[in-house]
Amino acid sequence: MDRRFRGLDSRLIHAGIETRLLGAVTPPIFQSVTFERSDETTRYIRLSNTPTHVALHRKLAEIEGGEAALTTASGMAAITSTLLTLLTAGDRVLAQRRLYGGTREFLAEDCPTWGIGCDWIDATDASAWSAALRPTTRLVYVEAMTNPLLEVADLRSIVAFARDNGLVSVIDSTFATPVNLRPLELGFDLAIHSCTKYLNGHDDIAAGAVIGRAALIERIAARLARLGGILDPHAAFLLDRGLATLGVRVRHQNASGLEIARFLADHPTISHVSYPGLESHPHHARARELFDGFGGVVSFELADDRSAERFMAALALLTAAPSLGGVHSLVMRPAAVWGTRLSPEERARLGITDGLVRLSIGLETRSDIVADLTQALGA
């Protein structure tokens, strides 16, 4: 891309495309498994090096400010392929305690079967990290904001701690997106996204990405080619199309997030709202320093625990469904969706109460979202 045009929104539209085939403004999908050998390169779909993959990887690297990028079949494929490349039997991970459920379970249940251990830290408080460090610790893993309570880890200290102790630093930046946070500029080695969420943004594909130092991405790409969890070219095309509008979507969701968080905080039926953009959030100052916006996910606690199901059932525009970051406003009750898989102690540790509701604000008319919440909260 022409170096004169460096704004994020310009890159989201133009980056990655080097030549226009037959003048096509929108690049075609190379829906081909294999390619005639020309130079020394073998192009094959599972190597994630079709022209469709290559252009998308270049765009992802440019928008996240990394040397290289790799896409995968889902966010979990990006996470598991990365960890299974960087860790071997005997190694340990330092991981943030309230990670995304799939990641937490992979570290707690799958990794030990291959001899990979995990030590859990409160990533918001640097004072306890040294005590959790062991001679075999290789990697530190955090998220931009935790789910569903939107805790903001001390990301700058995590990077410094990783440097001081020779650890690879990995962040799942799904909740922030490159619009709100540039973790590689902070010094993280790798940034991971579930592109299923904001990056694609239309609730119609599963995809993942890992972006960062080229030497690491090359190793992960080689292992992914054997593990097999690659992104299909048609989904790659849709992800590229979704990315073009990421800037306008996320800035709108930031504005809606703040407005709706304030509305909920003032509502008499709600006892607590978790949103890093609110002054009442315990990590508000840190969030303001790190992020350009706070995203479209807001969690809140109904004062009357037993009213949560009634509230969910009364919603008309908002849909009761998991996932987040897309055009549809979605609502879920963590205790109902994840509660059955967690022990009462685990639920308490993760802050999941019966009255907790997670809202992902989409792109419907803001006053319609507020009107639907108002009528359902009165139900």
Cβ atoms of residues 11 and 62 within 8 Å: yes
Rounded to whole angstroms, the Cα distance separating 250 from 198 reads 8
* Per CB under 6 A, 100 contacts ligand PLP: yes
In sequence order, the 6+-apart residues with CB closer than 8 A to the CB of 110 are 80
Rounded-to-integer distance, Cα 71 and Cα 88, Å:
22
CB burial class (10 A; 0-12, 13-18, 19+) of residue 3?
exposed
Smallest distance from ligand PLP to CB 366, Å: 23
Structure tokens at 14: 């133009």
Closer to ligand PLP by CB, 234 or 310: give it.
234
What are the residue numbers of the active site? 46, 100, 172, 197
Residue with Cβ nearer ligand PLP (75 or 178): 75
Q: For residue 194, state whether it binds ligand PLP (rule: CB under 6 A).
A: yes
Distances (CA, A) of 287 to 171, 261, 350: 15, 15, 20
Give the interface segment with ligand PLP, choosing from 38-46, 190-198, 231-239, 294-302 (CB under 6 A): 190-198
Interface pick for ligand PLP out of 174, 256, 299, 360 (rule CB under 6 A): 174
Least distance from C-beta 6 to ligand PLP, angstroms? 28
197 binds ligand PLP (CB under 6 A): yes
For residue 148, is the peptide bond before it cis, meaning its omega torsion is within 30 degrees of 0?
yes
Q: Could you count the other beta carbons within 10 Å of the beta carbon of residue 330?
A: 21
65, 102, 229, 351: residue in contact with ligand PLP (rule CB under 6 A): 102
Nearer to ligand PLP, 52 or 194 (CB): 194
DSSP 317: S
Question: Would you say 52 or 147 has its CB closer to ligand PLP?
Answer: 147
Backbone angles phi and psi of 170, in degrees to 5: -130, 135
How many residues in the shown chain lie near ligand PLP by CB under 6 A? 15
Binder to ligand PLP among 206, 231, 250, 297 (CB under 6 A)? 206
Taking CB positions, which residue lies at the least distance from ligand PLP?
A: 75
Residue 10 phi/psi, 5-degree rounding, is -65, -45
- What percent of the chain is helix, strand and coil (3-state, nearest 5)? 45, 15, 40
Least gap, CB of 172 to ligand PLP (angstroms): 5
In the bound complex, what is the minimum distance in angstroms from residue 95's beta carbon to ligand PLP?
13
Binding piece for ligand PLP, criterion CB under 6 A, among 4-12, 71-79, 105-113, 152-160: 71-79
136 CB burial (10 A radius; 0-12, 13-18, 19+): exposed
- How buried is 340 (Cβ within 10 angstroms: 0-12 exposed, 13-18 middle, 19+ buried)? exposed
The span of 41-49, 127-135, 191-199, 257-265 binding ligand PLP (CB under 6 A) equals: 191-199
Considering beta carbons, is residue 102 or 117 the nearer one to ligand PLP? Answer: 102
Angle at 187 between CA 185 and CA 192, to 5 degrees: 80
CA angle (57, 58, 63) in 5-degree steps:
100
Q: Estimate to the nearest angstrom the gap between the alpha carbon of 223 and the chain centroid.
A: 22
Residue 62 binds ligand PLP (CB under 6 A):
no
Q: Which of 96, 196, 253, 299 binds ligand PLP (CB under 6 A)?
A: 196
Q: Which is nearer to ligand PLP, 175 or 311 (CB)?
A: 175
Pick the binder of ligand PLP from 74, 82, 137, 177 (CB under 6 A). 74
Would you count residue 76 as binding ligand PLP (CB under 6 A)?
yes
Cα–Cα distance measured from residue 235 to residue 71, given in angstroms and rounded to the nearest whole number: 10
Q: Build a one-symbol-per-residue string for 130-149: x at contacts with ligand PLP by CB under 6 A, - elsewhere.
A: -------------x---x--
Q: Which is nearer to ligand PLP, 76 or 359 (CB)?
A: 76
Site string for ligand PLP, 153-172 (x = CB under 6 A): -------------------x
Instruction: Write out the residues near ligand PLP by the rule CB under 6 A.
Output: 74-76, 100, 102, 143, 147, 172, 174-175, 194, 196-197, 206, 208
